[in-house]
Every structure is written in C-alpha cells, then in structure tokens.
Amino acid sequence: MSRRNIQLDEQQKLRHFIAVEGLKRQMLVDILDSAENFLGLGARKAKKVPLLRGKTVANLFFEASTRTRSTFELAAQRLSADLLSMDIKTSATSKGESLLDMLQNLEAMGVDMFIVRHASSGAARFIAEHVAPHVSVINAGDGCHAHPTQGMLDMFTIRQQKGEFAPLTVAIVGDILHSRVARSQIHALTTLGVTEVRVVAPRTLIPADVERLGVHVHHEMESGIENADVIIMLRLQKERMQGGFLPSEAEYFKRYGLTEARLKLAKPDVTVMHPGPINRGVEIASEVADGHHSVILQQVTNGIAIRMAVMSMTLGRPTSAAGVAK
C-alpha cells in the first residue's frame, strides 16, 4: 500500500483487517498462530470463550453471502460478543439514508466492530477511515479487491497440510481477473515466502499486470499444475461472466477443469483446495472435489478459527492459549 496503513494502530498492532497487502510476515504468522488456539473450540461441549464479552459486532453484508456470513456469526458468538446482523435490504440505506449516517447511528448504539461485505472495491477501507477510534472494521470481501480472511484461512489450511511455506509450489486456477480471493491468496503466499506461485487461466481472465505481484502466468492447465504441491481452484463467477470472457462453461471445464487425469500431473501428495461454493463439473470434477486430496470442508472449519483470531486481535484482547483456556 502506498497510502498510510490504517490497519495498524500506533503500537503497530492490528486495528482493522482490510487486506493482506501491506502486512508483514510476522503479523500473518501471528494470525495463524492465534487461530491454532481456537481450532479445537468447536469440538468442546462448551464452545464459547469470554474474550469479546461486552463487545458488540455488527454484520453489514451489502452483498449476498451464506458461508462467509455464517462463519463470522459463529466466530462472534464463540467469542461471546453481542451480534447484530443487519438486513441491508430493509435497512435505512435502502430508504435513502447515507452509509455514513447509518454507521454513526450504529456507533451510537455501542457497536465496536463492523464486518463489511460490499460489491464495490474499497468499501471496507472507506468505512474504516470514517469510524470512531475505538471501532474496528473487518473486510469480508469488497468487489474485486480483497477477501483477507478467506486468504488467511487458506494459508492456515496449507500450513496444516504442508508444515512450511518456503518449499512449496502453489497453483491458483481460475478467474484471476475478478477474484478478490486470488489477490488475497497471492499477497499472503508471497509474504509467507512460498517459492513459486502460479496463476493459471485463459488470457481473458488474467489481469494485464499480474506478474508484478510475483507470480508466474500459465495459460495451459497441464503446465500450470505440473509438480504443484497445492492446487487452489477458484469459483467461476457466473455473475461476472457477461462480457464474453469464455465461450462456454463446457469449454472451460474441458480446458481448465480439474479432473483425476490432470491431478496426476501434480505431486503425489498434492493438496486440492477451493474457497467455495463449488461449481461441480465446471471448475472441478466431483471425484476430485470429494477425493482424498481435497481439503475443501477443512477450509470451511478453519474459517471460523481464523475469523475468531482476527476479531480478537483487532479488538485488542489476548489470543494466547491461556486466553482461550477454560
């Protein structure tokens, strides 16, 4: 980021989580380590810890989401926060109230954190620039810009599977052009020191200047996943495919779909990931999505732990193992 990094406070601790870009490696490692402390909580009889007791979290989802919203809600509840989930379709903003007026009214109700999902890139940063000093903002996906908690839960899953980042070759396959998930993954992988990050897609779905992010571009699926340690398949965002980017979904699967035959080109212990929701038979064959290389459901479970880690870190509460203990 060329602008001031508003994600950090004066002590260089996490205040907002808007993007992976601009954060140092140690901060990313701290998030992963903190998530480790929360991972086993879901299996306990009592699934709550009191770290955010007395805090109020508001979900502001201006864009539809089921999985991300649900995992943020569970994360807030497991941290014992009071949760306010706004129905944006019936909120005052749909009746003409400005976004800033709505934020100020929610702040007046004692909200301490906004979880923001918005179709416009930069929306989460805009909100973070205008909230009161005690309020934190977490980006749950903004336009084509960033989806930082998804990026970090993917890193958490890779660390579980592979242990170290440095020796890895990671291939990200799909709609790189529109994917906020891919951008967050690329920034996280390069910051954590992965040896080679590849992006694999048709020319129409690759940003013109993507190499400046430190990735290698492949337009053929076979070369892109050859000897890969990790393959991350992206969702083909049908709502953004109206500009003649592809001939058809069938043609896309024929050239870029991850099948069992293609999977043999990667390393024998390859890990297959997908941020969901899956379009079976478009991005990935069902045999691969449900196969023993797949960790797709593990990613969903990890999403709660990562979001608990980020929420507790931004509100300045302890996240050590001692803090999570009963």
Active site annotation includes 267: no
Which entry of 48, 67, 69, 240 is annotated as an active-site residue? 67
- Which two structure tokens, joined as six digits, stand for 150? 């998804």
Cβ contact 295:231 at 8 Å: no
| Closest among 177, 183, 236 to 214, alpha carbons compared | 183
Residues paired with 14 in a beta bridge: 8
- Which candidate in 15, 16, 68, 118 is catalytic? 68
Catalytic residue among 55, 78, 117, 293: 117
Instruction: Give the contacts of 251 (CB within 8 A, at least 6 positions apart).
Output: none
Please answer whether residues 180 and 146 qualify as being in contact, where contact means their C-beta atoms are separated by less than 8 angstroms: yes
- Of 77, 14, 70, residue with least CA distance to 41: 77
Catalytic residue check, 180? no
Judge whether 263 and 207 are in contact, CB under 8 Å. no
How crowded is residue 280: how many other Cβ atoms within 10 Å of its Cβ?
A: 15
67 is known as an active-site residue:
yes
Q: Are 130 and 100 in contact (CB under 8 A)?
A: yes
Beta carbons within 10 angstroms of residue 98's beta carbon: 10
Separation between Cα atoms, residue 269 and residue 291, nearest integer Å: 12
> What is the maximal distance between C-alpha atoms in the chain?
58
- Among 55, 147, 178, 198, the active-site one is 147
> Nearest Cα to 17, choosing from 322, 218, 298, 310?
310
Q: Which entry of 45, 95, 292, 326 is annotated as an active-site residue?
A: 95
| Positions marked active-site | 67-68, 95, 117, 147
